[in-house]
Chain A
Amino acid sequence: MRVLVVEDNPVLLRSLADSLREESFAVDTAEDGEEGVEKATSVAYDAIVLDVMLPKLDGWGVLARLRPGIRTPVLMLTARDAVPDRVRGLDCGADDYLTKPFNLDELLARLRALVRRTTGQTRSLIEVGDMKIDTAARRVFLAGVDVPLTAREYVLLEYLALHRGETVSRTALYEHLFDENDDSLSNLLDVHVSNLRRKLGRDLIATRRGHGYCIE
């Protein structure tokens, strides 16, 4: 999952980005509203974490520029917790709202829920045949047995499972699984896929030559 975090406090921005990366999100950052709009319109993020009080262009302004063209789910972060502020945020096109100070686990859960909802999933548990993916705990079970996966393998599997039935292009995978600072080479994707096949079964991930990968 690739997430954009727009927050003007550099310490908080770094802390948020680190936290999300540790949860295997690919994270891009922006320090002001204009940079946020620029990045949000050029990359197809899975979610955007948006602070309200931003220099140059505030959170409302960013939302107004994004909607309705960009449909990426937006989670607003703000110190203003009055009901009118929250209502305004949701009415402006935000998908969720979290007031500072927030609990990190809650932020992560809300982000997962946002991504899940936009892909049409309703539960945090994804089942493919006898394989279960627990997106909350980020663990994979094959016939009830815990299968250890690396972080990269996990996000790849989760992304394909969330878009089950669709053929996901390599470009899309790069866009959603790696952030702007990653310099992973393209053949690494093939390595991760073959590792997943080895651990979870040959037939789980189908290769569509020239198109990409797919979980049926």
Chain B
Amino acid sequence: MRTFFHSIRWRVQAWHGAILLTVILGFCLTSHRLAWNNQLRSVDRSLAQTERTLIRGLMQAAEAHGEPGPGFSPRRLADKLRSNPEVFPSALGAIFQGREPGFAYFSLRDADNRPLLQSPNVPEDVAVPLHTPPEFAEEARTVSGRREIVHRTPDGLVSIIGMDLGPERREMRRFAWSLVALGGGVWLVGLLGGWWLAGRAIQPVADISRTASRIAEGNLEERIVPDGTNSELDQLSRVLNATFDRLHAALERQKQFTADASHELRTPVTILLSETQRILKRDRTPEEYRAVIQTCQATAQRMRQLTEALLLLARQDRGAGELRREPCDLAAILRTTAAQLQPLADARGIQLRLELETALCMGDPTALSILTTNLVGNAVEHHDRAGGVVVVGCGVHEGQVRLAVSDDGPGIPAADLPHVFDRFYRVDSARSGGSGHVGLGLAIAKAIATNHGGDIVAENLPGRGCRFSVQLPARSPSARASS
């Protein structure tokens, strides 16, 4: 249940419910208030009507008894009416009587709250307000369930005419209940709709999560099916699919590499076992023993080269983070490399021609020297004829350090060109134990170039030969300043 209350759907629903409730409450309260004000206005209108009726009735009664004479004032009228109750018109008495809900009453009082004249049904708690309105002004107020209009005459008389709000209040209660029912209904429908909508919005997430967990369980071929709407979730699906593609490819490469490495290591072990088992089956001549030991030695040398190459590659595979970075001159490194490979070139009758310019870059000198050795050694070893030339050049061009090793050898067959940097790929296809290279040299060179933020390309030259070019970022002036 914990996860349920933490689910996005639940949280969306909770927020949605709260906001919807606030809106509905605000709406209901406002309409209730408006309706109540409306009621009060109509009550006020009817009170004003009643007041006019009362005043007219009282005036008529006074006229019938010889008033108004000179010096008429509401106070004198009130005194007169009080001293002669029979003067009070019975029509008016019918209006101001009883305590049924909605009854009307009036009360004329002096400023000290002493009643001068009032209807018999005046509630006990009727009182002149503490702050009486200014002369001729009118004040409407709601006091304990009644609506009253208060007037003050110039001679200090206060008239209170009121009405019980019972029927209006009952009506307002009914209205309030219907508002509650309506609001509650709208809220429930909103909640259901919100739940459905949230579920619909979350549905693709659930699909993505299910697919992703299947992929995590090892089904690497599977992909999330994007809904093609280009929505946020659709974009997420695409991003995830691209990530899975890359992971899958990396894993496949790793698998292939492990399989290849194990194959490459198993073959020499097989030779060692097979040769030693054969030779030990019976007594041999010293020449036979020597031949087998030589084979074993050559095989062991090859295994050593292979493990060294694998180790180098593994080190490069750990990425650029492990790389030492210091300022170094590619020209100096190439000069050393050429000197080391000179004996091999001499043995094969190859001329090494150096065209070196100072090329400063940031890098690991050991790794860069492996890169140059692999490239130059590769060019020398694959040259097919004595008298050939291998040109080694470097320099800075357009802010990039460039290194090129070109030869006038047989070139690379077009079908092999895209694969020369693949691990364990050998152009001659011979997994020969004798030739000494294990098919990792160029792969290592590429890994080193990539780790230095550079790139390496192989191309056939028009006519004859091929060229391997490396581009590395040049050592920037800021780096020079800081070092």
Contact = CB atoms under 8 A, between A and B. Distances in A.
Q: Do A and B bind each other?
A: yes
B299 A11 contact: yes
Contacts of A8: 429-431
A182 interface: no
B434 interface: yes
Interface string B406-439: 0000000000000000000000011111100000
Contact of B269 (A15, A56, A100): A100
Interface stretch (B23-31, B260-268, B324-332, B452-460): B260-268
A80 B273 CA distance: 18
B295 interface: yes
Contacts of A11: 271, 295, 298-299, 432-434
A18 B281 CA distance: 12
Interface string B269-294: 11111110110010000000000000
B273 A55 contact: no
A105 B270 CA distance: 13
A99 B295 CA distance: 21
B341 interface: no
A129 interface: no
B277 A9 contact: no
Contacts of A15: 271, 274-275, 278, 295
Contacts of B281: 22
A55 B274 contact: no
A9 B431 contact: yes
A137 interface: no
Nearest to B429: A55
Among B274, B430, B433, the one with the most A-chain Cβ atoms within 10 Å of its Cβ is: B274
B455 to A, nearest CB: 30
Contacts, number: 70
B278 A104 contact: yes
Contact of A100 (B266, B430, B433): B266
A181 interface: no
A103 interface: yes
B267 A9 contact: yes
B350 to A, nearest CB: 25
A196 B262 CA distance: 48
A53 interface: yes
A105 B430 contact: no
Among B262, B263, B431, the one with the most A-chain Cβ atoms within 10 Å of its Cβ is: B431
B259 interface: yes
B212 to A, nearest CB: 26
Interface string A96-111: 0001111111000000
Nearest to B265: A79
Contacts of B263: 53, 79-80, 100
B277 A105 contact: yes
A15 B273 CA distance: 10
A4 B167 CA distance: 116
Contacts of A37: none
A79 B269 CA distance: 11
A190 B263 CA distance: 47
B273 A101 contact: yes
A12 interface: yes
Interface string A103-123: 111000000000000000000
A124 interface: no
B432 A12 contact: no
Interface in B372-415: none
A12 B430 CA distance: 13
A103 B277 contact: yes
Contact of A56 (B298, B299, B429): B429
A79 B264 CA distance: 8
B433 A9 contact: yes
B430 A55 contact: yes
A1 interface: no
A79 B261 CA distance: 10
B259 A100 contact: no
A104 B277 contact: yes
Contacts of B278: 15, 18-19, 22, 104
B267 A12 contact: yes
Interface string A10-52: 1110011011001000000000000000000000000000000
Nearest to B280: A104
Among A15, A18, A56, the one with the most B-chain Cβ atoms within 10 Å of its Cβ is: A15
Interface string A42-79: 00000000000101100000000000000000000001
27 contacts: A8-B429, A8-B431, A9-B271, A9-B431, A10-B430, A10-B432, A10-B434, A11-B295, A11-B434, A12-B267, A12-B433, A15-B274, A15-B278, A15-B295, A16-B274, A18-B278, A19-B277, A55-B429, A56-B429, A79-B263, A101-B266, A101-B269, A101-B270, A101-B274, A102-B270, A102-B273, A102-B274
Interface of B: 259, 262-263, 266-267, 269-275, 277-278, 281, 295, 298-299, 429-434
Q: Which 7 A-B pairs have the closest CB atoms?
A: A79-B263, A55-B429, A104-B277, A101-B270, A79-B266, A11-B433, A101-B269
Given A15-B278, A19-B277, 13 more contacts: A10-B433, A11-B295, A11-B433, A15-B274, A15-B295, A22-B278, A55-B430, A55-B431, A79-B266, A101-B272, A101-B273, A103-B273, A105-B277
